[in-house]
Structure 1
Amino acid sequence: IIDGRFHTECSHFIAMSTKFQDCLRPNCLFSSRHIHLIACKSQSCIRLMALPTKNPIRISPSKCGDCVLKIRDEVMPMVRVSGMR
């Protein structure tokens, strides 16, 4: 589970902290309740982890920092210093 900030204007999610949670399924290789204790070769067991769940603990009505910088660079292109090419 990933806790973080969700920016509504740009729909970006910025991670703040992570934590692990056991799925407690007996057919999951990563669960503490897995029924095959040693060298599981069962085809019915889940061998891949699901993507972590994003949990927005903060909601920001503004754009994220990356989007703000991107817009700023588009509006104000880098000024060329005299003598440099």
Structure 2
Amino acid sequence: MKLVHDVDVACRRLGKFLHLDTFRHAFVAEEGTAGPGTETEWVIVYRTAQGFCCIYRGAAVEFQDMLDVQIWSDEMEVRTYFIGL
């Protein structure tokens, strides 16, 4: 039973670190405004020493500036969620 408790604690801590509650609320709000059949794809973008990076469909995508991230997300029609800014 201690292992189950430890896993639950780790999941809560990871959820708090990644701000999953905020992400969940944003997703629920997005579902309410979107029409039926439209699904928005989310991409988690994080800060690196040289700029920004994200994983999109299994491939790493690197950016130099925040403007590059915004332009790319508009072109690919994805929503971005920033971590570590």
TM range (shorter): under 0.3
Structure whose residues are more often helix by fraction: 2
Higher relative contact order (CA 8 A, sep 6+): 1
What is the TM-score of this pair, normalised by structure 1?
0.22
What is the TM-score of this pair, normalised by structure 2?
0.22
In our comparison, the structure showing a higher alpha carbon Rg is 1
